[in-house]
Amino acid sequence: MNQGTGNSAFKINTIATVIGVLLAVIAGTAIWRIYRGDTTLLRNVAVSNTQMSPNADGDNDLIQINYDISRNATISIYFEDENDERFYFRRDKRRGIGEYQVLFSGVVEGYDLPDEMIQGEIIARLLQDGAYEWVIEAIDTNGTREEVRGPITVVDADNALPEMRDFGLDKDTFTPNRDGINDRVLIQYDLQKESNVRVALQLPGGGELPLFEKERDVPAGMPGRHYYDYEGGVDNGETPPADGEYEITAIAEDDEGQKIIVRDTLNIALGGVPRADIFAPASGDTFEVSATAISLCDTLYFTMTVENYGDTPIRTTGPLPGAVYDSNENYNSVGWHTESGAWRIAVGFENELSNYPYRWAVGSEDDLVEIDGFKYLMPGDRAIVTGGIRMVGKFGERNPQPVWAGLIHEDVEVSQFNNRVDPKAILLDLPDPENMEQCPSR
């Protein structure tokens, strides 16, 4: 074989080898791409329609958005108007590898229009009618960013917001303790559009306590004025939230998904379920009387002890301990009328014309504390209460007459264990009718 023939064969073999390597690389790359796919982060993006009319009429209210991501990424979906202002539907949401579908109803993060006066904060709102570009943006963990855009037009959007105008509380501070003073707070607003409304007291730590509407002529959720009457749960024997400052929130959401939140601040003070009783000593009478037989025009005196064993003050009203009633008088006739929420020691008897006609404050001036002009027996305190009834005539239909003590929470209750406490049979020594004399004035 000559030199020329050998060189040609070598060249042919070298070229074949190179071609083989190249083909192997190409084949390997193809197999690798088939196995791994391409390196695009955001894929198969599609929007089901280029026009929508978000007004909850069931026609073209929604569009479907589809996309895939090939690796973990943060996703944002937003809409840009002709002024390049962005309206976010999804903002910086972490997503893993996979296929995604989401329905868009036209509602984006809340925004305000120029010169718009809205009470509260708009949380979510429909896009206004007009032309937009939708944008789906993906950013992977290395900072690689990809986006896909497309046109969309919004028409016939229901832009009326679920406003709660004139939202407010009738007081800044209330004292839920059933003392008849600032026991309730009235929350009200004027709803402008049929909506689902949730009103709540926000609790420390992120929880909330739902408040319930006091339905009147306007049904719940319908346009008009709405009222919420909150008493801290005390009327049901529940312990109210601890004293302090709280936020009251109301969130209204319409059929399109637009949301508005309004807020106000409420202070709770002296809250608690009032609890008191006529204290029963270890020995001796609970309702101690000066005598069990008494003559006409003489006075029957009593002594008993009241204890506030609850965690909130109890309000009281007069007359003060030591006052003496004539037997034909009662608390109204001597000028101490019923006061809702006040506590009073009382004495009653069988056949009385009114329930517990003789009533006294649950402590003396030294026992009580003044709060905002009212008198209270404080939690954990006891007070001795005395008083008298002068017998100026026939005392009921029986003789001896059963007489007992009571502790009244006026216009609220006389609890079972504070009713008809320690009855005594009192004998009244009455002269014959022809010898009956009128008792002297006091």
Contact (Cβ atoms closer than 8 angstroms) between residue 139 and residue 147 = no
- DSSP secondary structure string, 242-290? PSEEEEEEEEEE-TT--EEEEEEEEEE-S-S---EEE---SSS-SSEES
Q: Within this chain, do residues 309 and 404 fall inside the same structural domain, yes or no?
A: yes
Q: How far apart are CA 124 and CA 198, in angstroms?
A: 15
Query: Among 42, 36, 92, which Cα is nearest to 66's?
Result: 42
Instruction: Count how many domains the chain has.
Output: 3
Q: Report the CATH number that the domain containing residue 264 is assigned in CATH.
A: 2.60.40.10
Instruction: For residue 172, tell me if it sits in a domain.
Output: yes
Check pLDDT > 60 for residue 6. no
Listed residues 154, 183, 211: the one ending a domain:
154
Q: Is 26 a member of any domain? A: no
If asked whether residues 261 and 184 sit together in one domain, one would say: yes
63 lies in the same domain as 200: no
pLDDT (average), residues 7-32: 44
Query: In this structure, are 194 and 261 located in the same domain?
Result: yes
Element at 320 (helix H, strand E): none
Return the C-alpha torsion angle 336, 341, 345, 351, nearest 10.
80
Residue matched to tokens 């319908």: 222
In a domain, 5, yes or no: no
pLDDT tens-digit profile of 323-367? 999 999 999 999 999 999 999 999 999 988 889 999 999 999 999
Read off the tokens for 120. Answer: 């509260």
Query: pLDDT, tens digit, for every residue of 65-80?
Result: 999 999 999 999 999 9
35 occurs within a structural domain? no
Banded model confidence at residue 5, pLDDT cuts 50, 70, 90 = very low
Distance separating the N- and C-terminal Cα atoms of the chain: 158
pLDDT at 431 over 50: yes
One domain for residues 127 and 230:
no
Helix (H, G, I), strand (E, B) or coil at 435: helix
In angstroms, rounded to a whole number, what is the distance separating the alpha carbons of residues 366 and 78?
A: 70
Query: Residues 394, 395, 397, CA angle at the centre, nearest 5°?
Result: 90
The domain boundary residue, chosen from 217, 240, 268: 268
For residue 21, what pLDDT is reported? 41
- Pair (230, 92) in one structural domain: no
For residues 282 and 225, state if they share a domain: no
The domain that contains 107 carries what CATH number? 2.60.40.2550
Residues 264 and 177 in one domain: yes
182-192, pLDDT tens digit by residue? 999 999 999 99
For 255-270, how does the pLDDT look when each residue is reduced to its tens digit (9 = 90+)?
999 999 999 999 999 9
Question: In this structure, are strands 145-154 and 51-52 parallel, antiparallel, or unpaired?
Answer: parallel
Residue 235: band (very low, low, confident or very high) from pLDDT cuts 50, 70, 90: confident
Does any domain span residue 384?
Answer: yes
Tell me if residue 33 falls in helix, strand or coil.
helix
Count of helices and strands (H, E) across the chain: 1, 31
Indicate whether 22 belongs to any domain.
no
Both tokens of 28, joined, read 């390997």
- The answer to whether residue 124 scores a pLDDT higher than 90 is yes
pLDDT digits (tens, 9 = 90+) for 136-169: 999 999 999 999 999 999 999 998 999 999 999 9
Residue 169 burial by CB count (10 A; 0-12/13-18/19+): exposed, middle or buried? middle
The overall average pLDDT reported for the chain is 91
Q: Mean pLDDT, to the nearest integer, of 95-103? A: 97
Is residue 288 included in any domain, yes or no? Answer: yes
Q: How far apart are CA 413 and CA 360, in angstroms?
A: 16
Q: 297: helix, coil or strand?
A: coil
Q: Are residues 122 and 147 in the same domain?
A: yes
User: Binning pLDDT at 50, 70 and 90, where does residue 436 land?
Assistant: confident
Beta pairing, strands 382-390 & 324-326: parallel
145 in the same domain as 125: yes
User: Looking at the predicted structure, is the pLDDT value of residue 392 above 60?
Assistant: yes
Instruction: Judge if 207 and 309 occupy the same domain.
Output: no
Read off the pLDDT band of 37 (50, 70, 90): low
Does 317 or 33 have the greater pLDDT score?
317
Domain of 176, in residue numbers: 164-268
Residue 341, SS3 per DSSP = coil
Q: Is 336 in the same domain as 380?
A: yes
